[in-house]
Amino acid sequence: MIDEKEERRRKFYLRDLKYDPKKGFDVTIWTPNQPKTEKFFTDKQDELREIQSFLQQPKDREFTIHLRDRDDKGEDFPMQGPPSS
């Protein structure tokens, strides 16, 4: 079982959310306690890649998700979502 301190260490937070009609959404997810090299961070990158492939069906809205670690290192995930209804 994961204790409370470990649970806090594994959290990710929404740090920034922007929208530009020409560029789409721009999302930054941040974890203050994880370096990019830890498995938990890598698992989150894999999860975002799965979301990306799911959302890249019909393409209407573009957005980017930035995944950042405690040292502000990370990876960007440009994405396109389904058409708006």
* Residue 63 to residue 83: CA distance in whole angstroms: 13
For residue 49, being part of any structural domain is answered with yes
For residue 55, being part of any structural domain is answered with yes
For residue 26, being part of any structural domain is answered with yes
For residue 85, being part of any structural domain is answered with no
For residue 18, being part of any structural domain is answered with yes
- What does the pLDDT read at residue 56? 62
Q: How many domains does the chain have?
A: 1
- What does the pLDDT read at residue 33? 84
Quickly list H helices, the chain: 4-9, 39-55
- What does the pLDDT read at residue 58? 58
For residue 42, being part of any structural domain is answered with yes
Q: Residue 23: which domain range?
A: 11-71
What are the 10-residue block averages of pLDDT along the chain, 85 residues in total? 66 85 84 84 84 66 81 84 58
β-bridge partners, 56: none
For residue 64, being part of any structural domain is answered with yes
């995930």: which residue's tokens? Answer: 77
- What does the pLDDT read at residue 82? 59
